[in-house]
């Protein structure tokens, strides 16, 4: 149920990466949070509260003062029905603009969405579902290779635009890469963006990275985590020996469609979508800071 309290302050803090003290300050100063009370008088926060905290973090990261960021974070919200309609309409509009090779219309739509919604929402409600649907249409022969290449090119460019300076900050560092031969990096980019909005610093090596280069980066940057992603399990299989050695460090994670049946490697599989796994990795690291 929308607005219903389900999270205690500690859980809200873990999921957002914001300390309980700061959350309470935002609640007091800006009414950013609207907790309900449990029968025992405990404050309970809703998923909408979590959304507002994320919006606040994104506006702060883009350089706004806290008071301004709070105004935007509390305004951007629509009711749940609105949000649903917005998502479907936005996906349809994105699909039709891209199918028509209309880059300006695509960019204008994305500009509007990014100005009024959180990045998490735009990724998980519009861009990622659109890419899934594009993949299905492509497999059924309903989208041409030209349309698919055009669409993924435009979206990849936009996502990397949002990624500018994502290596900056003070949070935990993560190295992101696809294994040798793997070109599919859109999921990994979305994951990097979701992590960055949760405070992480991103060292992005991207598609088709030699495993030796991943190892070198892990040595050079001493990242909190290393995440490797592939659509195909064979891409992991080909480098299983090196991965197993790397995973002895205890901080290696595998994501994407190919991240299954990899028990012998000793890495943690991030089997969900990029946004929920960004939450999970953030929570794991907050529980066990290295």
Interface with ligand B12 in residues 80-139 (CB under 6 A): 128, 131-132, 134-135, 138-139
Q: What is the CA radius of gyration of the chain?
A: 20
**Which phi and psi (to 5°) does residue 167 adopt?**
-85, -10
Take residue 58 and report the two structure tokens written for it: 């994104």
CA dihedral for 43, 46, 48, 53, sign (positive or negative)? positive
Applying CB under 6 A, does 256 fall inside the site for ligand B12? yes
179 counts as binding ligand B12 under rule CB under 6 A: no
Considering only the stretches 7-15, 25-33, 53-61, 186-194, report the one whose residues sit in contact with ligand B12 under the rule CB under 6 A. Answer: 186-194
Number of residues that bind ligand B12 (CB under 6 A): 31
Check: CB of residue 179 under 8 Å from CB of residue 238: yes
Minimum distance from residue 7 beta carbon to ligand B12 (Å): 22
Q: Which helix (H) or strand (E) holds 37?
A: strand 36-37
Taking the complex as a whole, the smallest distance from the CB of residue 65 to ligand B12 amounts, in Å, to 33
Contact 173, 221 (CB under 8 A): yes
d(CA 104, CA 28): 42
Q: Is 183 in the site for ligand B12 (CB under 6 A)?
A: yes
Nearer residue to ligand B12 within complex by CB, 9 or 228: 228
Select from 5, 17, 187, 223 the one that contacts ligand B12 (CB under 6 A).
Answer: 187
Confirm if 45 and 10 have CB atoms less than 8 A apart.
no
Specify the residue, 77 or 148, whose C-beta has the smaller distance to ligand B12.
148
d(CA 137, CA 123): 20
Is 77 near ligand B12 (CB under 6 A)?
no
Q: Using the rule CB under 6 A, which residue among 182, 193, 217, 246 binds ligand B12? A: 182
Q: Which is nearer to ligand B12, 51 or 182 (CB)?
A: 182
For residue 156, state whether it binds ligand B12 (rule: CB under 6 A): yes
| 184 lines the binding site for ligand B12 (CB under 6 A) | yes
Three-class DSSP category at 81: helix
In the complex, minimum distance from the CB of residue 22 to ligand B12, in angstroms, rounded to a whole number: 27
With 0-12 / 13-18 / 19 or more C-beta atoms within 10 angstroms meaning exposed / middle / buried, residue 176 is buried
226 to each of 46, 64, 256, how far by Cα in Å?
31, 31, 14
The site map against ligand B12 for 203-242 (x = CB under 6 A) is ------------------------x-x-xx----------
Name the site residues for ligand B12 (rule: CB under 6 A): 128, 131-132, 134-135, 138-139, 148-149, 152, 156, 181-188, 191, 227, 229, 231-232, 255-257, 270, 273-274, 277
């Amino acid at each position: 149920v929308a607005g219903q309290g389900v999270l205690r302050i500690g859980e809200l803090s873990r999921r957002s990466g914001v300390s309980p003290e700061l959350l309470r300050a935002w609640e007091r100063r800006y009414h950013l949070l609207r907790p309900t009370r449990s029968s025992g008088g405990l404050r309970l926060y809703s998923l909408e509260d979590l959304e507002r905290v994320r919006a606040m973090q994104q506006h702060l990261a883009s350089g706004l003062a806290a008071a301004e960021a709070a105004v935007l974070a509390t305004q951007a919200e629509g009711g749940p029905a609105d949000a649903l309609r917005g998502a479907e309409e936005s996906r349809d509009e994105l699909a039709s603009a891209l199918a028509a090779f209309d880059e300006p219309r695509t960019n204008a739509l994305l500009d509007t969405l990014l100005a009024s919604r959180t990045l998490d929402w735009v990724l998980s409600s519009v861009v990622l579902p659109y890419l899934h649907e594009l993949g299905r249409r492509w497999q059924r022969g309903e989208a041409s290779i030209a349309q698919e290449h055009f669409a993924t090119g435009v979206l990849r460019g936009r996502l990397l635009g949002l990624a500018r300076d994502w290596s900056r900050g003070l949070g935990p560092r993560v190295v992101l890469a696809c294994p040798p031969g793997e070109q599919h990096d859109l999921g990994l980019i979305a994951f990097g963006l979701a992590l960055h909005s949760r405070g992480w610093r991103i060292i992005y090596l991207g598609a088709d990275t030699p495993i030796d280069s991943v190892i070198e980066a892990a040595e050079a940057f001493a990242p909190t985590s290393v995440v490797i992603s592939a659509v195909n399990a064979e891409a992991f299989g080909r480098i299983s020996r090196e991965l197993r050695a790397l995973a002895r460090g205890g901080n290696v994670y595998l994501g994407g469609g190919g991240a299954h049946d990899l028990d012998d490697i000793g890495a943690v599989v991030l089997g969900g979508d990029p946004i929920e796994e960004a939450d999970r990795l953030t929570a794991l690291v907050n529980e066990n800071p290295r």
